[in-house]
Each structure stands twice: as C-alpha cells, then as structure tokens.
Amino acid sequence: MNNPSIFFCSGEDEFIVNEQGRSRFEKIASTLSDDFNAEIIEGNVNNLDELKRKIGDFASTVRTLSMFGDKKLVWLRGVNFMGESAVGRSEGAKKLLEQLQEILIPIKNPNEVEVIITANSVDRRKSFYKWLKNNVHFEDIVSDKRGASSVEKLIRKKARALKLILAEDAVQLLLGRLNGDARMSVNELEKLSVFLGKENVEVTYDLINKMVPSFGEGNQFETVEEFYSLNIKRALNSLRRHFFFNRDARMLLSGLTNQNRLMIQLRTLMDSGILKAGFGLNQKDLNEAAEYFSDLYEGISGKSNLNVFSQHPYYLSRLIKIASKPQCKLPTLIRFNQVFIEAFEQILAHPNNAESILRDTFVRCLHRGEA
C-alpha cells in the first residue's frame, strides 16, 4: 500500500493542480489544533542555490515536531524542478531530488506529519517521479480514456459545488469559448451562478453562448460556429466582428479547418452506413467504428482533429447534425478544405488583405450557387 502520509499531484494545468493541492491542504488544516502546524513552502526555483535552500527548508520543517506534539502539515507548492527546465535538467537537481527522496522515506505516520507536493511540467522519466508513483498517494491529472480533459473534469466538479446543472453541450461550448483555460472556466461558472441567483438551475448551451465571451486563442470560436450555420449573412457578420477586434486570421482558418476535418470523417462514416445521418450520434455505432478503424489511426495520440474517435461524444453529436445537412455532402466538405488551404496561402502572401481574403472564402463556400 502506498504511503498515506505523502500526497503528490502533478498535471497538465498549473491552476488545476494547485486547486487540488489547496483543497487537500485546507481540508487537513481544518482538523489541526493550531494554524501554525500547517505550513506552505513555495517550490518554484530559478537556480540550484534556490533549490538547495528550498529542500533544506522543507527538511527542517518536516523534521521539527510541534512543541505540543501535535500533527504537522507541510505543502511543497508549485514545484518546477522536476521537468525539462534548465534547473530540472541539471545534474545538481538530480542529486538534490535524491536528497528530497531520502527526506520523504521516513515520513510514514499520518498522525504525526502529512506532506503535500504539487508540481507542473514534470518529466515522467525521472527516477524521483517513478519513486513517487510507486510509493506515495499519487495523482497525475491528465485526460481520461474517453478524451475528457482535466479542465472538463474541473468544470463539472465546480458546477456540482455551485449546485448548477450543466448541459453536456454547454460544457463543450464553455471549453471552446475559453480555449480550455481552467481559471477562466471556474470564474465564468461563478459569474453564472451569481447571475442565475438560485440553485439547481440548468446551464444551457444558449446561456453559455449568450453570457460567456471568447478568450485567448479560442476567440475564433463564434465565427467558426456561424460559418457552419451555413447562413452566409450570419457568417459574414461574425467575420466582420472577428476582425473588428483585431483577431488573428490564421487562428480562424485553423479552427475552420479543424472542424472541417472532423466533419469529413463523420460524413464518410455516414455515407458508408456506419453512422446513421440525421438522428444524432449512436454511441454504440461510434464505439464499434472506433474499434474497426483503430489501425488507421495508429500513432495519433491524444485528442486530435485527425482522429474523429478522440473527440467528446457530445461535441460529435453537434457536428453530426451539421454534417448530415444536404449542403454538407462529402464533395462539398472536401472542397471547403481546398478553399481553406488556398486562403491560407493567400494570407501568407498578402497578410494585410486577410479580412478580404477570408470574406471571399466565406462567399465561395456558402453562396447558394456553390454550397
């Protein structure tokens, strides 16, 4: 059994990892008789001298018992020397991690000392990481087997805490609007909770669409949505708004291309009779198709627009409704892709004309005479 006195957490998102550590720290700290028995040591270092001092401080803290024999809690927070940083790659860091391991080994009684370590950007090949995985209470927050990201899981957890009912398509829209940013997602849910003013209310796709602004590199999301409404007027109005806020043309083209790749795969599956068009997504059919075509996607790991089976089922449910429309026959979607490539080449050659190039692209794709 792994040592319950030591909890280690790492993951893809610094905010999520820190939240996990904070939640555990506050829970244990609330049971202590004295606030002075709970200490936080910042694990973020810039050089080996700082790392040596931090490990020395940590050793001193965990080895110094409380004056009255009470339990101690120590959180080594935001460790950045377990990854591929300049400090983390050094031989000196390797030796200091060995020292840290020696400090942790004797800590075995959770009634005396509990330790929390949170880290980001870890190198999973390091011997210290492997030792932690095999010997302590260990959590590595990554995407699960169905493709649900760590941010998605945090959103659902936060919604439960706020007593909000999240519609499945609302989760995917929130992720898209905020470019998967964990901190922004939590903030927006808290704002929605205040706006709604009561518990057990459903947060719908339309509510997210109305209330949550686009953020970061995901700010092309609205325009991609409007393009695939296949309504040329709505799409052109959204494109104008996109450039009014000085947003990037290449990110928009990337968003259009990524969704189009998924729709080409969906349409191919529908035209072959593997997936049924117009009735949403049948999870059983999707799972069977994923198994049947698994060899074709070998080597494509993680969530990718090159692999339709890596996407969230509820997101695919929305796409399949679009892909099943008469205007989205397979030759049309393939032509969209070619037009996007041409637009990208034109923007590289004439970057100052990006808006007019994309406006022509939208017209070529969505004009009734061509779509």
Helix, strand, coil tally for the chain in percent (to 5): 60, 10, 30
**Inter-residue contact 43 to 117 (CB < 8 Å):** yes
Residues facing residue 141 across a β-bridge:
11
pLDDT at 136: 93
Q: What is the mean pLDDT of residues 257-270?
A: 93
Confidence of residue 369 (pLDDT cuts 50, 70, 90): very low
Confidence of residue 54 (pLDDT cuts 50, 70, 90): very high
Confidence of residue 181 (pLDDT cuts 50, 70, 90): confident
Alpha-carbon gap, residue 164 to 45, rounded angstroms? 39
Joined tokens for residue 350: 């004439």
Report which residue type is found at 9.
C
Alpha-carbon gap, residue 150 to 157, rounded angstroms? 11
Which of 118, 188, 123 has its CA nearest to residue 155?
188
Q: Is the pLDDT of residue 111 over 70?
A: yes
Letter string b/e over residues 255-284, b meaning 16 or more CB atoms within 10 A of that residue's CB: bbbebbbbbbbbbebbeeeebebeeebbee
Confidence of residue 365 (pLDDT cuts 50, 70, 90): very high
The string of pLDDT tens digits covering residues 83-97 is: 888 888 888 999 999
Letter string b/e over residues 348-363, b meaning 16 or more CB atoms within 10 A of that residue's CB: eeeeeebeebbbebbe
pLDDT at 143: 53
Confidence of residue 1 (pLDDT cuts 50, 70, 90): low
The string of pLDDT tens digits covering residues 113-167 is: 999 999 988 888 889 999 999 999 998 886 544 444 678 888 898 999 999 999 8
Residues sharing a CB contact under 8 Å with residue 30, sequence separation 6 or more, in sequence order? none
Q: Is the pLDDT of residue 222 over 60?
A: yes
Strands of 252-349, DSSP E: none
Q: What is the mean pLDDT of residues 289-307?
A: 79
pLDDT at 278: 58
pTM, two decimals, is 0.56
What are the structural domains of the chain? 3-141 (3.40.50.300), 150-213 (1.10.8.60), 220-366 (1.20.272)
Alpha-carbon gap, residue 266 to 272, rounded angstroms? 10
Q: Kindly report the average pLDDT of the chain as a whole number.
A: 86
**Inter-residue contact 100 to 58 (CB < 8 Å):** yes
